[in-house]
Amino acid sequence: MKHSPEVDNSTKVLRVTSSFRFEAAHFLPQHPGKCKELHGHSYKLEVTIAGEVNESGMVMDFSEIQAIVDESIIQRWDHKLLNDSIDNPTAENIALICVELLRSRNLPLSSIKLWETEDGWVEVSC
Ligand SMILES: [Zn+2]
């Protein structure tokens, strides 16, 4: 027997997440410690959208989310010096700019998470 979602599932809001990585350099001029020196991170970014399932059974195609994030963020910052485009590129500021860039592409954002290291991340609820 094949399963299909109950009819009222179409009114549920689902959250869909895609994950990305980029390598970038930065320095924090106002930092009292070693982060004021030029160094790099392997950033991990999770982008979560929210919405109802459409007639094709998806909130949004993963490949569509990936294309938008790749064009607006990954191509902009991967292997770049973040200070060239962001004044004070803390993880918090980078995350807030991610939200701005993705909102301008009309992604129905729910939240984003940006890991600067394996152990530390910033989450923005949208
Ligand atoms: Zn750093």
How far, in Å, is the centroid of ligand 1 from the Cα of 26?
Answer: 6
Q: Where are the beta strands (DSSP E) in 1-126?
A: 13-26, 39-52, 80-81, 109-117, 120-125
Per-residue pLDDT of 14-41, as tens digits, reads: 999 999 999 999 999 999 999 999 999 9
Q: Residue 88: CB partners within 8 Å, gap ≥ 6?
A: 28, 29, 30
User: How far, in Å, CA of 78 to CA of 91, rounded?
Assistant: 15
**Taking the domains of the chain in order of start, what are their residue ranges?**
7-125
| Res. 7: pLDDT tops 80 | no
Structure tokens given for 13: 């809001």
How far, in Å, is the centroid of ligand 1 from the Cα of 74?
Answer: 18
Q: Residue 106: CB partners within 8 Å, gap ≥ 6?
A: none
Q: What confidence category does residue 4 fall into, taking pLDDT thresholds of 50, 70 and 90?
A: confident
Its pTM stands at 0.92
Say which CATH superfamily domain 7-125 falls into: 6-pyruvoyl tetrahydropterin synthase/QueD (3.30.479.10)
From 29, 23, 35, 45, select the one nearest 97 (Cα to Cα): 45
Per-residue pLDDT of 87-123, as tens digits, reads: 999 999 999 999 999 999 999 999 999 999 999 999 9
Q: What confidence category does residue 5 fall into, taking pLDDT thresholds of 50, 70 and 90?
A: confident
Residues assigned a catalytic role:
35, 79, 116
How far, in Å, is the centroid of ligand 1 from the Cα of 119?
Answer: 13
What type of residue is 20? F
How far, in Å, is the centroid of ligand 1 from the Cα of 42?
Answer: 10
Per-residue pLDDT of 35-74, as tens digits, reads: 999 999 999 999 999 999 999 999 999 999 999 999 999 9
